Chain A
């Protein structure tokens, strides 16, 4: 059974309150989810809280994952980001209602997803890391503020004292550059795809 099929099977068992399936799912994604959570929180205890909240939601609301719309990893990482951003906003006393719920991206149908499009995530992750490092500092900062710190374009504009149009153009140029650097990925789908 490939990973996608077994993910779906595990979620089916979790929906049936099978704790062994939850443990198996935990074992499969613990390291990746923790590393991702830590990237937001920069603190071991806070990262653990994020991971715990993720598995609380998986256990208590497994029906929120719709396998017909995409891969489980996509949903898991989208939910993890939402939890992490919520936590950041609470810690910083920022409003919590402004940011769009990125779990929505995981609910958009993606007809292109399928097991045949699996590939070496670690390798492509490394490539993207290199591509991110090659961005100019302004572009990298805007990406970081939006994706990892949960600021909206308006908040970035205000916080950095730059026009809204500059925020948009930095994001667009950054994404364009990343796309070019990873051009060979364009028609391949990723298990971490946030839109599948």
Chain B
């Protein structure tokens, strides 16, 4: 039974898993505190927010694009969600409404990004660089560069909630990973997304609606951003307009790449994103435990991303020759 599964494993798929295991062992040797359940859950919780966005980002990257706007979009959607909760009195209905508004905004923003990329033929990097600036600026403008604070305890409770000790955000992260992994590997849409990213012309000649497939990758990402926006703003029960969800685009892209999805698109893995996100979280955790300055964590993260891509390049080259 396990044999066909093993045969399907390619270096780019298991390298990240190996890295995770090695890192796990190293961390547990470095500090006895690491293996405590609370610490492990903390790591998972910390990585879930940008990780959820990474799940959508994987589709964008597989389809041959990039989305830089996700960080400021998260702040924007989180802020609007809080405004909706406050405006409607903070009860369960207000929270439901906030969810719906957030999802609508996320999908709408994704449609905008995707439409300009596909119909407008503008490079994804530029389009989303633009929307990145737009969403941050709108958030700052609406919030007067200050803090959006929710007046609903219920909303804050939702963000802090957990099931059998596992934080909600972690459950949502894994649940969505399961769903999107199915979407990527078990549906026509997923296959087409890979085809479009692998060779657009072949996809077009194969009667695939290239623009629609690509547009949807941005919509999926927008929806994931909405989920993260609500979860994140409810966890803190507030959103800071200037530094809320800042650098999330970096974390999401890093999780995708470390997980083994090549930036050139054409293929990828959703569970790799989960692994990539956890690797990033574990590295941060270890640096904290070794009391390395928080300011240096970005340096380490940057090096890890570069190293991950470098190793993948080497392994795919070896596999080809």
Whether A and B are associated in the same complex: the answer reads: no
